[in-house]
Amino acid sequence: MFSLKETKRSALISLWFMFLTFPVLVIKVDAIEQTVYWRWENMLYIGLGSFILSIFGKIFFERQKSRRERQIAEKIEKHSLIQRALRDPKYLYPLGAAFFLFAVTYPYLFSTYQINVMTTALMYVVLGLGLNIVVGVAGLLDLGYVAFYLVGAYSYGLLNMHFGLGFWTVLPIGALLAALLGILLGFPVLRLRGDYLAIVTLAFGEIIRLIMENWNDFSQGPSGISNIPRPGLLGFDLTLDQAITYLYYLMIVMVLVTIFVVNRLQNSRLGRAWVALREDEIACQAMGIDKTKTKLTAFALGATWAGMVGVIFAAKTTFINPASFTFLESAIILAIVVLGGMGSILGVILGAVILILLPEYLRALSDYRMLAFGAIMVSMMVFRPQGLISNVRRHYHYRPKKEQQK
């Protein structure tokens, strides 16, 4: 079943890996003793390991290919297990209920640290879902998404510092300001697409951050804003633990609201227009869709979520400074969307949970944490380039037929 040619290729691959890892894993220089250790056994491990992995990888790809060919030949609709489960209420409801129960009881089962980590993950879920509107659905590659996040955070920080406005007042204000900024960014980039849009949005994100860093009178510069109050609960005084739990539940509600709204947006006249805009801009306009309006709403609605999460972020950490809003943040949020599956809500949620929680739980690997993280990301992209859960095509189930008969 395995030809000589394939074996040769695998051998070549393992040779290449041995060569690549040679300087790092074989040679070890002890500067004090002035001796060089040659750890040849490491080379053996690498060689064997990469040889076996490459053979397994090849078998995997072969099987996947033949399966796909069979599916095309037999015209079977390809749906993953998860997508099938989502379609069928028989599985969907118990699954949803189990998740909901888990989410509600989570703070009672785990430590404060775990709750905090989970709250962060949930924040990224909302951020991912917001960016998903812009990147996944409307196909506008936005690398400066963090700017809207910053606007939300700073609007809470500054409005609270100067005017004493509370969390619940600023939440809608932050969202509104972010949306306005989204429209403001949208106007000059209306005619750009793809790489060019990415560059401009990247610059935009950096500009906003640099303004905050350098405009000391306005934003207190790099020293940031501290002592931002946590969200209040009807005037009760909360202890730190209670506040953390409260914020967790707040994020759960926020995530549910986001899923609800984003799902409805995607399955609406507007959502279809976004997808059409992603597919073919010229045809889209020729069919009567106002490009300007559609793009700007995508930018504004995407930014709204970032603004709200920004406010929550400020309330959670009680301290903000521009260093929290670097390009890396944008990149992570974008990675969540791409990894999870462009345009797929469940995919983005899974992507956020994996990308935020994985580095936390990989801490056990200490030094190799980021290496393992990178390896997981790369293999994910090799094996599932369409993302963890690819977007489910919206089927309009025979409704017209049924209603036609009446």
Nearer to other proteins, 182 or 231 (CB): 182
CB 296 to other proteins: min, Å: 11
Q: Does 403 bind other proteins (CB under 8 A)?
A: yes
Residues 235-264 that bind other proteins (CB under 8 A): 261, 264
Render the burial of 332-347: b for 16+ CB within 10 Å, e for the rest.
bbbbbbbbbbbbbbbb
Asked whether the beta carbons of 228 and 156 are under 8 A apart, the reply is yes
Q: How many residues bind other proteins (CB under 8 A)?
A: 35
- Which of 78, 81, 22 minimizes the C-alpha distance to 50? 22
**Who's near 96: CB < 8 A, 6+ residues apart?**
none
Report the residue from 273, 350, 388, 392 that binds other proteins according to the rule CB under 8 A: 273
Q: Does 395 bind other proteins (CB under 8 A)?
A: yes
Q: Does 404 bind other proteins (CB under 8 A)?
A: yes
Q: Does 270 bind other proteins (CB under 8 A)?
A: yes
Q: Does 385 bind other proteins (CB under 8 A)?
A: no
Asked whether the beta carbons of 144 and 202 are under 8 A apart, the reply is yes
Q: Where are the beta strands (DSSP E) in 171-273?
A: none
Asked whether the beta carbons of 127 and 306 are under 8 A apart, the reply is yes
H or E element: which one contains 363?
none
Residues 278-317 that bind other proteins (CB under 8 A): 279-280, 282-291, 297, 301
Nearer to other proteins, 97 or 283 (CB): 283
Tokens at 109, concatenated: 């089962």
Nearer to other proteins, 241 or 280 (CB): 280
**Who's near 176: CB < 8 A, 6+ residues apart?**
304, 307
Report the residue from 272, 318, 362, 373 that binds other proteins according to the rule CB under 8 A: 272
CB 258 to other proteins: min, Å: 11
Q: Does 401 bind other proteins (CB under 8 A)?
A: yes
- Which of 276, 23, 251 minimizes the C-alpha distance to 117? 251
Distances (CA, A) of 26 to 72, 162, 243, 375: 47, 60, 51, 20
CB 339 to other proteins: min, Å: 19
Which positions lie near other proteins, rule CB under 8 A? 261, 264-265, 268-273, 275-276, 279-280, 282-291, 297, 301, 393-397, 399-401, 403-404
